[in-house]
């Protein structure tokens, strides 16, 4: 047991237990603080607050380390594939060949959506943002799958998990097809997970679609990089929604909504738009100056991170993947990639970015790669959400299966009016 922390409040000296994890910062258990002092802690943005105990993902922001169940992201991205990562995040161990075959079979058998979902899509405008369609259609799954929303039933939790992981790509592809007025493409069970998704997005009835294995492998690796990331904003949203007992589809829909924000998962779309707005390498200094100007709300999208105060390990792999995809597609010089590389070079030598420890994050290079693959900018965050679904599900399951789990209900520092009496309208 680690030495408790003492807190002096007035003439009282309180001892608070300290809990240590496997690696990383210990935590001070302040659960009894209010009862003992009548005071709350105050930490908007949770910069120094651990909301839960977890065994799933670990980040060392200073060293630029990311581990899924203890395995370094670089090794999983290099040697594994996305469905293997899904199994690892859900079950805690890498699958044996037999476990892997069974998991593949279970996911593959859930890739179709209820046929009436097609009519559900007809209600959207064609130009609806894919993330608005994803928030709605993922939430709507609870209207179609009543047999897997009893969260107290372990079997139903696992079926709902399989359905979410399996159906998200189908719904995301439908959102894309609907936005471009092309017919939906059904999943094809003899394709691997990511090849199936590419085919549902880019196949047309008039000709045979041939999966480009290099692109499929690159996108599968991108999904691995985005699969989970500790208690980020959208994962915390899923946990908080799940703590009330809401059904898993509704919780994941809440996560999709939160991820959409440009400060979070929406940054990949915003980063590409920023590179397009910069337009040429000679305009970079102007935008760097804007990013440093306190009176200008402009920020370098795809830069900075709450936890990483070093290079985001995912960004390095993303940059390598961008080159791989552009080479495969014969795109010799992508002006946006040139701008991104020069912007990164300048920023990493600029005192402001060095002092504030601002490095490229996972969103900085992903847009260039996804755009080269043929995805419209509006689909970038939907692809992030597709990959993050397994992380949300794994974290939701961990919370639900925690015997000590209770509803999340933060308190506040109230600075509004003290009690006052009502004044009738004619006397105001
Ligand atoms: C993701 O949490 C996760 O793990 C998220 C994620 C995941 O996998 O789930 O990693 C995915 O969301 C990555 C982040 C994507 N967002 C962006 O790229 C948007 C641009 N980045 C910023 O909005 C910002 O860096 C955040 C939101 C990512 C982090 O913000 P913090 O931790 O609240 O830091 P901050 O806003 O307090 O910034 C610290 C300082 C500030 O200056 P001061 O007020 O101290 O003078 O750094 C400055 C900021 O102004 N700063 C930037 C900047 N990011 C921070 N200045 C210019 N450009 C930036 N991008």
- State the average pLDDT over residues 226-231: 98
pLDDT for res 99: 98
pLDDT for res 333: 84
- State the average pLDDT over residues 37-42: 96
Q: What percent of the chain has pLDDT over 70?
A: 100
Match 């009893």 to its residue by tokens: 150
Q: Which of 129, 305, 312, 334 is catalytic?
A: 305
Closest Cα to atom 24 of ligand 1: 304
Determine whether the shortest distance from the Cβ of 77 to ligand 1 is under 6 A.
Answer: no
* pLDDT tens per residue, range 302-353: 999 999 999 999 999 999 999 999 999 999 888 999 999 999 999 899 999 9
> How much is the CA Rg of the chain, to the nearest whole Å?
23
- Ramachandran category for residue 45: left, alpha or beta (phi over 0 → left; psi -120 to 50 → alpha): left
Determine whether the shortest distance from the Cβ of 301 to ligand 1 is under 6 A.
Answer: yes
pLDDT for res 1: 63
Q: What percent of the chain has pLDDT over 90?
A: 95
Asked whether the beta carbons of 83 and 103 are under 8 A apart, the reply is yes
Closest Cα to atom 4 of ligand 1: 232
pLDDT at 86 over 80: yes
Determine whether the shortest distance from the Cβ of 302 to ligand 1 is under 6 A.
Answer: yes
Instruction: Collapse the DSSP code of 65 into the 3-class scheme (helix H, G, I; strand E, B; otherwise coil) and give the result.
Output: strand
Which of 45, 267, 304 has most ligand 1 atoms within 8 Å of its beta carbon, as the pocket-test mutant? 304
* pLDDT tens per residue, range 407-427: 999 999 999 999 999 999 999
* pLDDT tens per residue, range 195-225: 999 999 999 999 999 999 999 999 999 999 9
Of the pLDDT bands very low, low, confident and very high (cuts 50, 70, 90), residue 132 is very high
Closest Cα to atom 51 of ligand 1: 304
Q: What is the DSSP string of 172-199?
A: HHHHHHHHTTPPP----TTS-HHHHHHH
305 is known as an active-site residue: yes
Q: Residue 65: what are its φ and ψ, rounded to 5°?
A: -110, 140
Of the pLDDT bands very low, low, confident and very high (cuts 50, 70, 90), residue 130 is very high
pLDDT for res 2: 81
226 is known as an active-site residue: no
Of the pLDDT bands very low, low, confident and very high (cuts 50, 70, 90), residue 146 is confident
């Amino acid at each position: 047991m680690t030495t408790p922390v003492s807190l002096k409040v007035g003439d009282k000296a309180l001892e608070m237990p300290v809990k240590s994890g496997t690696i990383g910062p210990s935590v001070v258990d302040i659960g009894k603080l209010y009862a003992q002092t009548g005071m709350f802690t105050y930490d908007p943005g949770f910069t120094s607050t651990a909301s839960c105990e977890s065994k799933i993902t670990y980040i060392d922001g200073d060293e630029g380390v990311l581990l899924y169940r203890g395995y370094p992201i670089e090794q999983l991205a290099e040697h594994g594939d996305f469905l293997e990562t899904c199994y690892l995040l859900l079950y805690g161990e890498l699958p044996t060949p037999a476990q892997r075959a069974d998991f593949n079979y279970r996911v593959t058998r859930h890739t179709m959506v209820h046929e009436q979902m097609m009519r559900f899509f007809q209600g959207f405008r064609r130009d609806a943002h894919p993330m608005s369609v994803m928030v709605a259609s993922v939430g709507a799954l609870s209207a179609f799958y009543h047999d897997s929303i009893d969260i107290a039933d372990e079997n139903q939790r696992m079926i709902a998990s399989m359905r979410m992981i399996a159906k998200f790509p189908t719904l995301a592809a439908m959102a894309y097809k609907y936005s471009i007025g092309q017919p939906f493409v059904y999943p094809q069970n003899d394709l691997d997970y990511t090849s199936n998704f590419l085919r549902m997005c880019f196949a047309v009835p008039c000709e045979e679609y041939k999966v480009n294995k290099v692109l499929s492998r690159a996108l599968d690796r991108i999904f691995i990089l985005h699969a989970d990331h500790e208690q980020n904003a959208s994962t915390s949203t899923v946990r908080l929604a799940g703590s009330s007992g809401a059904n898993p589809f509704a919780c994941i829909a809440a996560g999709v909504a939160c991820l959409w924000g440009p400060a979070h998962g929406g940054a990949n779309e915003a980063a590409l738009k920023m590179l397009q707005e910069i337009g040429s390498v000679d305009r970079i200094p102007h935008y760097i100056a804007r990013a440093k100007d306190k009176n200008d709300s402009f920020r370098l999208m795809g830069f900075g991170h709450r936890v990483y105060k070093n290079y985001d390990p995912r960004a390095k792999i993303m940059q390598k993947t961008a080159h791989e995809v552009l080479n495969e597609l014969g795109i010799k010089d992508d002006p946006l990639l040139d701008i991104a590389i020069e912007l990164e070079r300048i920023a990493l030598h600029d005192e402001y970015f060095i002092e504030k420890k601002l490095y490229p994050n996972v969103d900085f290079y992903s847009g260039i790669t996804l755009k080269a693959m043929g995805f419209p900018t509006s689909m970038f965050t939907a692809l992030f959400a597709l990959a993050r679904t397994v992380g949300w599900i794994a974290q939701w399951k961990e919370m639900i299966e925690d015997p000590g789990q209770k509803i999340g209900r933060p308190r506040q520092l109230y600075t509004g009016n003290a009690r006052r009496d009502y004044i009738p309208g004619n006397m105001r």
